[in-house]
Structure 1
């Protein structure tokens, strides 16, 4: 997986109706084509009576992959607008499936493009978007008199605190974005007068919202 990737926060759902045709849209976070195929098969079983099960996905793992299917709709009227809804939000590792129940009235190519794209967009909004980023895991060991000051610095600079232990000193675990590492060291060192013990002991993925705030 790449060090920084925009993806969905959770599974999502949305519905759209056009001239009595119902479009049920489902969003799933996925990490492989096998994941996507398994979910698609389950939806086809559950909604076996629907006329079309159209989909698109973008996956970044070892290599970047994107695929789509019109599933019997006129070429380019279903899978492509679903994929465009994903691209518009710059999302990866996501599958969108739109199940259509035909309402008896033909929508035409432009109507289908609009309906599939709209249904996909509604479900993607429901799923929410995050940026998944590799971060350093930092451990600070500080005196109790510095605790409040370090908490304020962490909050104002979005250094996410994941745990705090109180022993003979205060031990604070934080997540630090790679581009902020040098700034983090400098800021903590200056704020503590060189008294803070700073150790980086690993890396992990963390989720960030569109405001750059870490979601714990």
Structure 2
């Protein structure tokens, strides 16, 4: 697998009404768990009268980490149905939050599961889902004398430069689609004084 699906930008807000309860849905692209808290805090300020901010997220391509949170709803009636939709859409690096305003009528376990699942489906339907290549990050270290030869390889292979430090000792971070890794390392390995390391 050399590609994965994710969302390109935060989704539009969706609204599902079920027996007077309102479910507002949001999806956000994320690359680290640390981003989840900021999105939740922003939504809590936006929806002050809400009773539940239920969510699920997934990050990663090969090694996947995920979490589902019911935020006070009965166990597995909110977070897991939301996470089920993330899996159903086959996407990763995404956070889906469903904010609930209670309308005075209890929905029961089955009703909650159906409402959170549908709100999550609507949210992801409203998102721009894109396919991205799985990239490997390399750090290339070389002396200034090798600059032209390294730059020629980068141009020929059309590599994406993430950062660079040009001095007597030069350092460059590049992103390479995984399918091209052997091809690129082979080209750089021919330059004897160039050191290539994979950045985790």
Give the structure-1-normalised TM-score.
0.61
Structure 1 segments of 4+ aligned residues over 6 angstroms from their partners = none
Structure 2 SS opposite 1:201: coil
In the alignment of these two chains, the number of paired residues is 143
The residue that corresponds to 2:183 in the other structure is none
2:97 — aligned with what? 97
Partner of 2:73: 73
Superposed CA offset, 1:166-185 (max 9, x none): xxxxxxxxxxxxxxxxxxxx
Partner of 2:158: 201
Deviations 1:149-195 (A, max 9, x none): xxxxxxxxxxxxxxxxxxxxxxxxxxxxxxxxxxxxxxxxxxxxxxx
Task: Give the alignment's TM-score, normalised by structure 2.
Answer: 0.66
Asked whether the equivalents of residues 16 and 23 of structure 1 are also in contact (C-alpha less than 8 Å), the reply is yes
- C-alpha contact (below 8 Å) 1:31/1:61 kept by paired residues: no
State the distance in 2 between where 1:19 and 1:4 align.
Answer: 41
How much has 1:54 moved relative to structure 2?
0.3
Call closer, same or farther: CA 1:73–1:32 in 2, change over 3 Å.
same
Residues 82 and 120 of structure 1 are in contact (CA less than 8 Å); yes or no, is this contact kept in structure 2?
yes
Note if contact 2:4-2:61 (Cα within 8 Å) is conserved in structure 1: no
RMSD of equivalent CA atoms: 2.3
Q: Quick check: 2:4–2:134 contact (8 Å CA) kept in 1?
A: no
Q: Which residue of 1 aligns with 2:142?
A: none
Extract unaligned runs of 5+ from structure 1.
Answer: 136-197, 207-216
Extract unaligned runs of 5+ from structure 2: 136-154, 161-174, 178-200
